[in-house]
A and B are shown apart, each in its own frame.
Chain A
Amino acid sequence: MDNSHVALVSMLLRAEGFSPYRCDRNIALGINLLSLTKVLRAAQNEDILTLKAEDSPDSVNLMFESPDTDRLTEYDIKLMDIDQEHLAIPETEYSASVEMPSAEFQRICRDLNAMSESVVIEASKEGVKFSCQGDIGNGSVTIRQHTNVDKPEQNVVINLSEPVALTFSLKYLVNFCKASNLSSSVVLHLSDEVPLLVEYGLGSGHLRFYLAPKIGDED
């Protein structure tokens, strides 16, 4: 969760994504993201990464093995107690889900962010409309269902059970879009009065962002 507790990120990497994978019992490892970033920077692109933690750990061990050279790098990161409450996120049926190229979503968010703080996302039969109103004027981007046979990653798929219109903070969305590199497509799940779910599919797992909608004083 972020500092203002309006956004949440969850990432799942399934066991099949690892080789080997071994976990005797569930443990929570509180890792400072900044520290993790620092250590991960020491890894090289093709390195094999091994994550290790003891039974009752006070640190997590990261090992980078270079497949070409026989270089072996090891780091221990001190763990921290995370006092944030764990929220159980129920699997929800959303009114609308939009699958679109992640680059496209990133572009929309970035462009609209220049005009305004928040964006209204309206999903209807015609398509999905991102619109915003700012001091200098207003703007909108509409995308429609689109199928590209040659490049399936360019597809836009809209599943709609009922039309929704929600307002979100663009600044948060822009930050979510940083995950665009991980996946070529992104799925937006929307329902009234429920946080927006922005999901990037990973090979074996997913990266999910949740963002509370702006309700009431819509500016």
Chain B
Amino acid sequence: MRTRSAPVSKSKKSEDETNAKTLVAAEKPSKTFILPSSTSDNARLVSLPNPQSGELTRYFFCPDRGIYEFTVVAPPAHMARSILFTPRTRETSNPLDEEKKDPEPSAQGSITKKAEFLVATPIDALFFMVPLLAPSSKSGRSLFQPFDDIIDSQDDMPKHLRQVLYDDEFRDSLLARAEAICEVVQAGDEKMFRFNETRLVQELITKAERMADRGLPVSLEERFVRQALATPLMSVKREDVATSQEPSNESQDSASKSEVRDNSPSTVATTATPSIGTPAGESTPVPQPPSEESTASDHITRLLRISTALAFMKESYLPATMASRLDEILESAESPIDFKPLKDRLKEITDLRAQALASRDMSNFTRKRALDDEEEDIRGEKKRRKDEAEKKSKAAESQAVKKLKKVNTSGMQKMSSFFAKAAPKKKT
């Protein structure tokens, strides 16, 4: 991530000058941005509809470099942090220069209440165009239209989005992105566009593949790839045999193909799919046991990475309707990428897990016994508590009193039969 931030003077976050002596809180708390360097002068913060939800969200737009979304980097809520900004002497210009909020060089440093960075990360402009282009495709095959017409047909388009789309400098790269998801015909000197779902899918898969090859972020890798493929420990050995046999029995073409390749020596595997070996090594910072199995299912792992990346993009950048439409396409036969081996493998793992769980339930009697004991314990505890309560009420009387209760007092008259009742003042 870029650490040098551009001056934020043109953004709306002009920092109020605070009196250094009295330490007055700023009226408008400042926000800390990390913005890309060497942006053009026309770069600005804009409110664009979020491609996923449609709500207006702040983005950073630069006609030269494209659109950036903001990612909040903040400490967890329970660990409050703050950032200290201090003025830096100008002669030591450090590339890791911390941006000083106050424009006056003589001013003192300041502290932000929340240690929160808004990091601008590039976002593909095509995601903004999908909602614009897609609706027309709903009613069967739509017509080829010039790009301007498509924009003009949107009446309720947010002002900022319109500005971005009409930006002359940005137009070329915008059209290039539009071409990636549309069929294009040349009509005279004008290009006509028609949205094509298959192209969108293809484009997304390309993105996903790139993402998978470069290595998914650690958290995604751990959660969705490693955990999803983890087989129950106790059945690792058995499961190896099972995978090599089962596919042939069920005569699943693709599955057996992949499995056969997996079982062949690793050198063959790497030569057959040269792109697999390296990314797996790079992209797994999570310590993985270098077992045979992990190298064998590289193809599966890659597929899972791609599907994870796709899922991430669908969740984050595409409207729900479009995401479900994409799912349909990926399911169908004309899908450009075949997830079948992956699905089979995942199903296998689920079965194995269920098996392991079942076997554990059946074989492990001690465990069941323990549960029963616990229940008994609970019951016993209830009883004990009841007894204790009783005891407590009894404990209000002394040992001697308790013993005297048992004494046979038959034939003994009550004291009141001997002594007259209560003179108001007790006499002894």
A residues whose Cβ falls under 8 Å from a Cβ of B: 1-8, 10, 12, 26, 28, 32-34, 37, 85-90, 117, 167, 169, 171-172, 175, 178, 194-195, 208, 210, 212-218
The answer to whether A212 touches B427, judged by C-beta atoms less than 8 angstroms apart, is no
What residue of chain A has the Cβ atom nearest to residue B406's Cβ?
A171
The residues of B that contact A89 with a CB separation of less than 8 Å are 419, 427-428
Given the known A-B contacts A12-B428, A171-B404, A175-B400, are A88 and B420 also in contact in the complex, defined by CB atoms under 8 Å? yes
A-binding residues in B (CB < 8 A)? 396-398, 400-401, 403-405, 407-423, 425-428
Q: For B427, give the chain A residue with the smallest CB separation.
A: A88
Flag if A90 contacts B415 (CB, 8 Å).
Answer: no
Q: How far is the CB of B402 from chain A (nearest CB, A)?
A: 9
**Contact A87-B416, Cβ < 8 Å, known A12-B428, A169-B409:** yes
Cross-chain contact of A8 among B396, B403, B415 (Cβ < 8 A): B415
Contact of A7 with B419 in the complex, beta carbons under 8 Å: no
Chain A residues in 8 Å Cβ range of B407: 4, 117, 169, 171-172
- With the chains together, A213 CA to B417 CA distance in Å? 12
Picked from A28, A87, A212, the residue with its CB within 8 Å of the CB of B420 is A87
- Which listed residue (B397, B408, B416) contacts A85, Cβ 8 A? B416
Residues of B within 8 A of A10 (CB): 428
B357 to chain A, nearest CB (A): 56
Q: Can you list 6 A-B contacts (CB < 8 A)? A: A4-B407, A5-B414, A6-B415, A169-B407, A171-B404, A195-B415
Which chain B positions have C-beta within 8 A of A5? 414-416
Cβ contact of B411, chosen from A33, A86, A87, A215, cutoff 8 A: A215
Contacts of B422 in A (CB 8 A): 85-88
Contacts of B396 in A (CB 8 A): 32, 34
Contact indicator A172/B404 (Cβ below 8 Å)? yes
Which residues of A lie under 8 Å from residue B398 when comparing CB positions? 33-34, 37
Q: Nearest CB to that of B414 among chain A residues?
A: A5
What is the minimal beta-carbon distance from A217 to any residue of chain B, in angstroms?
A: 5
CB pair A85–B421 under 8 Å, yes or no, is yes
Query: Does the CB pair A34–B409 fall under 8 Å?
Result: no
Q: Which residues of chain A come closer than 8 Å to B427, judged between CB atoms?
A: 88-90
Q: Are A2 and B404 in contact (CB under 8 A)?
A: yes
Residues of A within 8 A of B408 (CB): 117, 169
Residues from chain B with a CB closer than 8 A to the CB of A12 are: 428
Interface centre among B412, B421, B427 (most CB of A within 10 A): B412
Known: A5-B415, A212-B417. 6 other contacts (CB 8 A): A5-B416, A87-B422, A171-B407, A195-B415, A215-B411, A215-B412
Residues of A within 8 A of B409 (CB): 4, 6, 169
Please report the C-alpha to C-alpha distance between residue A217 and residue B412 in the assembled complex, in whole angstroms.
10
- Chain B contacts of A117 at CB under 8 A? 407-408
Q: Are A212 and B412 in contact (CB under 8 A)?
A: yes
CB distance from A143 to the nearest CB of B (A): 25
Residues of A within 8 A of B417 (CB): 212
CB within 8 Å for A216 and B411 given contacts A12-B428, A89-B427: yes
- B405's partner among A1, A4, A86, A178 (CB-CB below 8 A) is A4
Q: With both chains docked as a complex, state the minimum distance between the C-beta of A11 and any C-beta of chain B, in angstroms.
A: 8
Least Cβ distance of B210 to chain A in Å?
A: 79
Q: How far is the CB of A147 from chain B (nearest CB, A)?
A: 30
**CA–CA, A212 and B408, complex, Å:** 13
Given A5-B416, A212-B418, are A26 and B425 neighbors across the interface (CB < 8 Å)?
A: yes
Q: Which residues of A contact B415 (CB under 8 A)?
A: 1, 5-8, 87, 195, 210, 212
- Complex interface: chain B residues within 8 A of A2 (CB): 401, 404
* Shortest Cβ gap from A29 to chain B (Å): 12
* Bound-state Cα–Cα, A210 to B413, Å: 12
Nearest A residue to B419, CB-CB: A87
> Which among B403, B405, B419, B423 has the greatest number of chain A C-beta atoms within 10 A?
B419
- Closest residue of chain A to B421 (Cβ to Cβ) is A85
Q: Is the CB of B420 within 8 A of A195?
A: no
Shortest CB distance A204–B (Å):
13
Inter-subunit contact B425/A6 (CB<8 Å): no
Q: Using Cβ atoms and an 8 Å threshold, which residues of chain B touch A28? A: 426
**A117 vs B411: C-alpha distance in the bound complex, in angstroms?**
13
